[in-house]
Chains A and B, each alone.
Chain A
Amino acid sequence: MAEGAGQRDVAVVSVAVRQEEALTDENEVQLLVDLVNRARNAVGLSQAEIGFTCSGSSDFLAGQAFSFVQTLDAVGAFPPISESHVEMDGAFALYEAWVKLQIGDVDTALVYGYGKPSAGSVRDVLALQLDPYYLAPLWPDAHALAALQARLLLDSGTVTPEALAEVAVRSLHNAVGNPNAVRASAEATPEELLAAEPVADPLRASDLAQVADGGCAVVLAAGERARALCERPAWIRGIDHRIDGHALGTRDLTRAPSAAMAAQEVGASSDRLDIAEIHGPTTSQEWILQRELGIAGGTDVNPSGGALAADTLMASGLIRIAEAAARVGAGTADRALAHATSGPCLQQNLVCVLEGD
């Protein structure tokens, strides 16, 4: 929805994030008991005081049909609660909750997203989101598709391998201060990263996101309720998501028009952005997104290290919103952009602008 336009004021009032390389004998329910309670307790809300609950997760990632039903154990869904689920990143669940809050019949919402990719092969699971006739039977994995996109970008001359290595280094350096980052380094240099052989030619391991298990829980609240619950709500000034075509051959893979359109719809460039948390599962995708979202020089991009430092399928986008909201809430940023992506080669993109009072 466009910025302003008679919206109800809705804010992120509390966040909880956890990511680790592998949560081996900790299941999704236990992970979420901790996250959901942290997010609710931070603003003193019980589940009975939450008007709407919405989650994002993937059955193909969990290896279980309707797996989200089991993770509702972590919420406390009795007596029955008003609840919904999307088979998408939690950021898209947040969008649904935001819409619910706009309707006006609830004032608070709990949103969470989670994934445990360590149990399977996430790059191959992602092949199953593709066209089942022409693409999925060939099992092009997520790394291969991102590599096809990256080579188009490199061949087009708009970016160099050095520029991609700098994106990786930015993530490694920023991730040092993030307790949830799995991959971080204060000393990494582009030269050192470029010395490695490609693993999905032309992409190197440092160009591909570090896969992580984890999740994120967020509490949203509207208007005065948000002000009562926390000192400095992170107001959602605009949130929009758009999608590009399905057939890879019909898209210019060096661009992400849906990201640019979503950014325009929320008025991302209408004022200075202190930070931008971008969900780019590869350096090349982060680079494309930075261009499409119109991120200017003065903006601190991915101060958390971004998805490159720890990428949890179904939660990484919501974590970008949580990271941005936490900085607005703490007063270290006044205006922030958060982005989530879904689908092959940045097919679908969600952009959200958050502001402090």
Chain B
Amino acid sequence: MTDPDIPPRALAEAVVTPEALAGLEPVRSVRTPIRLVYDFVPSAAAQAYLRAYAEKRILGHRSPVDGAVFVPPRGVDPRHGTAIDETVDLADTGHVGNFCVTHLPIPGRDDLEVPYVSAWIHLDGADIGFLGLVAGCATEEVRIGMRVRAVWKPDEQLGPTAENVLYWEPSGEPDVPVGRAGNRAWRGRTDG
């Protein structure tokens, strides 16, 4: 038995193969693709959120601990591991909490022209942001604190998916000061 305290030697010595393989190009890699299919059923909270979203309503969950509102609703306050069952309706207006300008196309989204702006949209009444696109203005104009409103798909194209808001456009209202924009739930609600 090899001494377990001495790690095994690496395969430093050449592997000796039978004559039959002499001179042939060796196999160096192998393709082993896999595909797994899951029957994904959203949680009860996400089911309710998606159904309301198809009617241009945005639902959030209010924490029983301190009243912080989370969107999309996940049935739990993740700071405390506490179940949430209070649903609130949120406005389809808010501000840009943070954003990123992307100059590279992404696979699967041929419809997105570069550059595009993805942003954390902080809805009025919510304490955390959720992801959306910002358009309807020049890329350079997008800024933290900029007020935005939803541009929904035409009614006949709405459905229980995350894709109902085409993008968020500037509403023209005065900005939220940078110091008060973005995440609030995480530092308490006193300065929100």
Contact = CB atoms under 8 A, between A and B. Distances in A.
Direct contact of A and B (CB under 8 A): yes
A132 B32 contact: yes
Given A75-B81, A76-B82, A132-B32, A29 B40 contact: no
**Interface residue SS majority, chain B:** mixed
B32 A137 contact: yes
Contact of A125 (B36, B46, B47): B36
Contacts of A78: 78-80, 186
Contacts of B186: 78
B82 A33 contact: yes
B36 A33 contact: no
A78 B40 CA distance: 28
A30 B41 contact: no
Contact of B37 (A30, A77, A120): A120
**Interface residue SS majority, chain A:** helix
A66 to B, nearest CB: 15
A30 B85 CA distance: 11
A33 B39 contact: no
Contacts of A34: 83
A205 interface: no
A26 B78 contact: no
B36 A29 contact: no
Interface string B22-46: 0000000010101011111111101
Interface centre among A73, A75, A133, A136 (most CB of B within 10 A): A73
B192 to A, nearest CB: 17
B32 A47 contact: no
Given A25-B41, A25-B42, A119-B38, A33 B47 contact: no
A125 B35 CA distance: 10
A133 B31 CA distance: 9
B40 A63 contact: yes
Nearest to A32: B81
A36 interface: yes
A33 B75 contact: yes
Contacts of A125: 36
A72 interface: yes
Interface in B128-185: none
Contacts of B79: 76-78
B76 interface: yes
Nearest to B83: A33
- Interface bin, chain B: 20 to 34
Contact of B36 (A25, A30, A37, A63): A63
Nearest to A74: B81
A73 B36 contact: no
A73 B40 contact: no
Contacts of A74: 76, 81
B74 interface: yes
Nearest to B70: A73
B122 to A, nearest CB: 19
Nearest to B81: A76
A128 B32 CA distance: 11
B188 to A, nearest CB: 12
A242 to B, nearest CB: 13
Interface in A271-307: none
A332 interface: no
Nearest to A77: B78
Given A63-B36, A125-B36, A136-B32, A30 B42 contact: no
Interface centre among B32, B37, B43, B47 (most CB of A within 10 A): B43
Nearest to B186: A78
Nearest to A125: B36
B81 A24 contact: no
A120 B34 contact: no
Given A26-B43, A78-B80, 9 more contacts: A25-B41, A25-B42, A30-B75, A33-B76, A37-B82, A72-B78, A78-B78, A132-B32, A133-B30
Interface of A: 24-27, 29-30, 33-34, 36-37, 47, 60, 63, 72-78, 118-120, 124-125, 128, 132-133, 136-137
21 contacts: A25-B42, A26-B44, A27-B75, A29-B74, A30-B43, A33-B83, A34-B83, A37-B81, A47-B80, A47-B81, A63-B36, A72-B78, A73-B76, A76-B77, A77-B81, A78-B80, A119-B38, A120-B37, A120-B38, A133-B30, A136-B32
